[in-house]
């Protein structure tokens, strides 16, 4: 193995820092070891907090199937781990790697205390069990982050000092890259957690508000699901998926589309007899009440369009602004169909639910009048396939 130390180290480091998945990163490094250094097999045990040990993360090479399965997690108190945790680099060899051959020699010498000899014997046994001739620890600051285990060289030759030095240096870079990747992953996890918290809280509050309207139990979540189905199918039909932002906006918008009903008196929402014109007009205020509740939140700009316009009609006869056809934002047109479908399919204070066939016929009938034909068609397609 001719090693251009500097070049390998630099190009590896260059790649590693931008791999933000620790497992993938370790896979890359282990593959490099096996392929470039022609080692029969190599494996990496990564520290795992929950398991309180070192988990076999990657194993590669001709012999990797032979690693005993019950050793797939090395306990943090295992002798191999303790050896590196307690002695760091200074124990026997003046380098961080532990070479099986040298360890055996050391065992025969007289320099070691009997306690250390016993420990070393265990380590040697452990290494032999894993068919490992070199163990290289990865430290980050004072912490043992992981352990790289290398089998024999394919050529059968012994590892030379230059190679071991290279592996040790490389592994210290690996440790940094792993920590970096872990930090990235933690941050991404935190971001996802925060997003979930936002969505769940919005769902909880929207559901609480919805509960004021005795006839709409579960309406919001059904409208949200149907809207998302329609959007995904429309994306597929247009042969380009909507970007994540549009779907996120639609999700939030569907959840909040009726939020303005909080501003409509309960006795109107729940009235059993038919509504007066004045009462009907109060109900028609709910999109703009919703807009007013949310308008100060700049990030919701896109989502608010759905709240504002989900009662517009394709023929321009809707409210609050009487927008027509393409003037109506797509996000609103999608919610309109989902909203109408669910409203027709549910009991209302003033009428019982229609059956599904009648609802579907009604939506087909109103395509191009109340509904955007593109959205209605997609909806009908999904119904035919039994997806809704």
Interaction site with a copy of itself (CB under 8 A)? 6, 10, 13-14, 17-18, 169, 172-173, 176-177, 179-180, 183-184, 187-188, 190-191, 193-198, 200-202, 204-209, 211-212, 259, 262-263, 265-266, 293-294, 296-297, 299-300
What is the sign, positive or negative, of the torsion defined by CA atoms of 376, 378, 384, 386?
A: negative
Q: Which is nearer to a copy of itself, 268 or 275 (CB)?
A: 268
Q: CA-CA distance, 328 to 318, in Å (whole number)?
A: 11
Q: Rounded to the nearest whole angstrom, what is the least distance from the CB of residue 162 to a copy of itself in the complex?
A: 13
Q: Which is nearer to a copy of itself, 259 or 344 (CB)?
A: 259
Structure tokens at 335: 């919610």
Q: Any residues with CB less than 8 A from the CB of 90 and at least 6 apart, and which?
A: none
Q: Rounded to the nearest whole angstrom, what is the least distance from the CB of residue 204 to a copy of itself in the complex?
A: 5
Q: Rounded to the nearest whole angstrom, what is the least distance from the CB of residue 312 to a copy of itself in the complex?
A: 22
Q: Which is nearer to a copy of itself, 89 or 173 (CB)?
A: 173
Q: Rounded to the nearest whole angstrom, what is the least distance from the CB of residue 14 to a copy of itself in the complex?
A: 6
Q: Rounded to the nearest whole angstrom, what is the least distance from the CB of residue 112 to a copy of itself in the complex?
A: 31
Matching residue, tokens 């709910």:
286
Q: Rounded to the nearest whole angstrom, what is the least distance from the CB of residue 298 to a copy of itself in the complex?
A: 9
Structure tokens at 311: 């009662």
E strand residue ranges, the chain: 41-48, 53-61, 73-75, 98-99, 134-140, 143-150
Q: Any residues with CB less than 8 A from the CB of 185 and at least 6 apart, and which?
A: 20, 21, 22
Instruction: Decide if 152 contacts 92 (C-beta within 8 A).
Output: no
Query: φ and ψ at 75, to 5 degrees?
Result: -60, 150
Q: Which is nearer to a copy of itself, 212 or 364 (CB)?
A: 212
Instruction: Decide if 369 contacts 313 (C-beta within 8 A).
Output: yes
Torsion angle in degrees (nearest 10) through CA of 381, 386, 387, 388: 90
Q: Rounded to the nearest whole angstrom, what is the least distance from the CB of residue 296 to a copy of itself in the complex?
A: 7
Q: Which is nearer to a copy of itself, 198 or 350 (CB)?
A: 198
Instruction: Decide if 164 contacts 94 (C-beta within 8 A).
Output: no
Matching residue, tokens 């012994």:
158
Instruction: Decide if 375 contacts 331 (C-beta within 8 A).
Output: no
Q: Which is nearer to a copy of itself, 268 or 374 (CB)?
A: 268
Q: Which is nearer to a copy of itself, 286 or 310 (CB)?
A: 286
Q: CA-CA distance, 158 to 151, in Å (whole number)?
A: 11
Structure tokens at 358: 């009648």
Q: In 104-138, which positions are buried (b, 16+ CB within 10 angstroms) versus exposed (e)?
A: eebbeeeebeeebbebbeebbebbeebbbbbbbbb
Q: Rounded to the nearest whole angstrom, what is the least distance from the CB of residue 245 to a copy of itself in the complex?
A: 13
Structure tokens at 51: 């398991």
Q: CA-CA distance, 206 to 255, in Å (whole number)?
A: 7
Q: Rounded to the nearest whole angstrom, what is the least distance from the CB of residue 184 to a copy of itself in the complex?
A: 7
Cα 218 versus chain centre, distance? 27
Q: Which is nearer to a copy of itself, 18 or 125 (CB)?
A: 18
Q: Which is nearer to a copy of itself, 120 or 255 (CB)?
A: 255
Q: Which is nearer to a copy of itself, 50 or 115 (CB)?
A: 50
Q: Rounded to the nearest whole angstrom, what is the least distance from the CB of residue 300 to a copy of itself in the complex?
A: 7
Matching residue, tokens 């961080």:
96
């Amino acid at each position: 193995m001719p090693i251009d130390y500097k070049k390998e180290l630099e190009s590896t480091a260059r790649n590693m820092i931008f791999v933000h998945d620790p497992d993938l990163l370790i896979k890359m490094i282990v593959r490099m070891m096996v392929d470039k250094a022609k080692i029969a097999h190599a494996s990496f045990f990564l520290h795992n907090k929950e398991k309180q040990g070192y988990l076999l993360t990657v194993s590669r090479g001709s012999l990797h199937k032979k690693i005993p399965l019950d050793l797939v997690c090395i306990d943090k108190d295992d002798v191999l781990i303790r050896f590196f945790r307690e002695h760091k680099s200074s124990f026997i060899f003046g380098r961080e790697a532990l070479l099986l051959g040298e360890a055996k020699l050391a065992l025969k010498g007289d320099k070691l205390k009997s306690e250390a000899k016993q420990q070393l014997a265990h380590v040697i046994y452990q290494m032999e069990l894993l068919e490992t001739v070199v163990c290289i620890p990865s430290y980050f600051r004072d912490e043992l982050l992981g352990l790289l285990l290398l089998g024999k060289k394919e050529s059968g030759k012994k590892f030379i000092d230059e190679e071991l030095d290279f592996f040790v240096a490389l592994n210290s870079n690996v440790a940094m890259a792993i920590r970096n990747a872990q930090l990235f992953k933690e941050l991404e996890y935190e971001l996802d957690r925060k997003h979930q918290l936002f969505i769940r809280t919005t769902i909880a509050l929207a559901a609480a508000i919805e509960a004021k309207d005795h006839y709409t139990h579960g309406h919001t979540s059904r409208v949200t699901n149907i809207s998302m189905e329609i959007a995904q199918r429309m994306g597929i039909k247009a042969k380009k998926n909507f970007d994540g932002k549009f779907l996120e906006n639609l999700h939030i918008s569907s959840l909040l589309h009726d939020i303005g009903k909080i501003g409509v008196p309960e006795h109107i929402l729940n009235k059993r007899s038919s509504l007066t014109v004045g009462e009907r007009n109060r109900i028609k205020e709910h999109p703009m009440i919703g807009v007013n509740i949310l308008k100060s939140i700049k990030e919701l700009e896109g989502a608010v369009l759905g709240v504002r316009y989900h009662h517009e009609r394709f023929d321009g006869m809707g409210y609050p602004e009487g927008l027509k056809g393409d003037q109506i934002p797509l996000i609103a047109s999608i919610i309109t169909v989902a909203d109408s479908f669910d409203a027709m399919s549910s009991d209302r204070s003033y009428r019982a639910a229609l059956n599904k066939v009648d609802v579907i016929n009604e939506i087909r009938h109103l395509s191009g009048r109340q509904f955007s034909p593109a959205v209605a068609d997609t909806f009908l397609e999904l119904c035919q396939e039994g997806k809704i």
